[in-house]
Amino acid sequence: MKITIFGSGYVGLVTGACLADIGHNVMCVDRDEAKTEALKRGVVPIYEPGLDAKIEANVKAGRLHFTTDAKEGVEHGRVVFIAVGTPPDEDGSADISAVLAVAKTIAIYMTEPTIVVTKSTVPVGSADQVRDVMEQTLKAQGKTVPFDVASNPEFLKEGNAIEDFEKPDRIVVGVANHATAEALRGIYAPFNRRSNRMVEMDIRSAELTKYAANAMLATKISFMNELSNLADALGADIEQVRVGIGSDARIGYHFIYPGAGYGGSCFPKDVKALAAMGRKKNVPVKLVEAVEDVNERQKLVLVDKIDKHFGKKDLAGKVFALWGLAFKPATDDMREAPSRAIMEALWARGAIVRAYDPKAMEECHRIYGDRADLVLCASANEAVTGADALVVVTEWKEFQAIDAEDLKARMKTPVIFDGRNIYDPKRQAQYGLLYYGIGRAA
């Protein structure tokens, strides 16, 4: 099938590469000419394991194309996915102006029957707005071209997006007619062979499903972070509590790992947008609002522990090694990352940060540029050498097995602030390392 995808960001590139890989003829449209030309050469602007190889292979095979020509894109695809950004507005609601702009563009150039699918995360009712914009645009041009609008939200985890796409837990499609559902079923058929993973529903329910899923996962994280702070105050170990409750099949172990808060492009934005939808409809979702509040506070829990350890908020002259900049392993994404809140708080106290991340160094430099109180190091060992403390923010695998004796020898003072509870406090104590975890007062 000929498919067009508007937007060559994270969702658009993963979707395009995976659909092309199973034989569809895919064209990705983006306004950024430099990025588009780079993609044609196989240069991928984001880090996602396996994505660069998949894009390169399908470009060479002639199944994946990149263009800035919207007209070419619309004429190419009988199914057109909209996968552009929906950034948060000032009130937290999702800004869908880019989605509606694409809808208008599709209507302007459309000459054949087309299915328009919103892949972007959009507020409930957005598909109706897409339909309205297209109908108005066609009417203004005096054209009559059949089209339909559907919702197909993505459920991709950064760092594992290709496997999520190719081996989905579910494929949610919101449709208003049977023919559109069958077209989408045909597109996804190769990923749906062993068992039926397609969940068909009405469009508004599909739009809400995406927000509900992310809000539920964010709620589990914030709940455990609240409990971790209580465990600190009560002298309990949250990691033992985690094992105790995770063994209950009704709860499970997924997303109950306490830490320094969640980040990324999805959870923070979607939680805020869901809360904004509730306020707009005069149906406050208090639990969701609390989830966001808890997460923002949690990002500074390590800084509070640092203040207490040093007995002051003036950290001028202190050097902190920071392991991990990305909001999670296997990505270079620093959007809403806890590392940013921690670094900025340390800088406000006069400290110097020596940071290392396996993939996010360029992104960190792009965000903060050159500054005297930020040293981007070539390795974890370089970052920690001469440091007054080590702050672990991202649970990259290479951080999880440390040589405690070597670490102690490199540091000015042997203290670890572990924002992901990846180390055993008793083991660190045996080597003379002072250890602070999340909810591990015991």
CA 135 vs. chain centroid, Å, equals 33
Which residue in 18, 28, 266, 364 is the catalytic one? 266
What gap in Å lies between CA 202 and CA 216, rounded to an integer? Answer: 21
Q: How far apart are CA 269 and CA 340, in angstroms?
A: 16
Q: How far apart are CA 42 and CA 8, in angstroms?
A: 13
Interatomic CA distance for residues 421 and 298, integer angstroms = 14
CA distances from 153 to 6, 172, 286 (A): 15, 7, 24
203 touches 127 (CB < 8 A): yes
Is residue 242 a contact partner of residue 258, using CB atoms and an 8 Å limit?
Answer: yes
**What DSSP letter does each residue of 354-382 carry, written as one string?**
EEE-SS-HHHHHHHH-S-TTEEE-SSHHH
Fill in the amino acid letter for 313. Answer: K
Q: Would residue 377 show up in a list of annotated catalytic residues for this protein? A: no
What CA–CA distances, in Å, run from 91 to 239, 279, 393? 36, 10, 29
CA-wise closest residue to 322 among 388, 372, 264, 370: 388
Rounded distance between C-alpha atoms, residue 228 and residue 218, angstroms: 15
H or E stretch including 231? Answer: helix 203-234
Q: Residue 331: CA atoms inside 13 Å, Cβ hemisphere, count?
A: 19
CA distance 438 to 227: 10
Picking from 191, 257, 249, the residue whose alpha carbon sits closest to that of residue 221 is 257
Q: Tell me whether residue 66 is exposed, middle or buried, using C-beta atoms within 10 angstroms of its C-beta: 0 to 12, 13 to 18, 19 or more.
A: buried
* Side chain identity at residue 3, one-letter code: I
For the beta sheet containing 114-118, the strands, ordered from the edge strand earlier in sequence to the opposite edge, are 64-67, 25-29, 2-6, 79-82, 114-118, 147-151, 171-174, 198-201
- Tell the residue number behind the tokens 């003379």, with chain if given: 432
- Cβ neighbour number for residue 75 with a 10 Å cutoff: 15
Residues catalogued as catalytic: 266
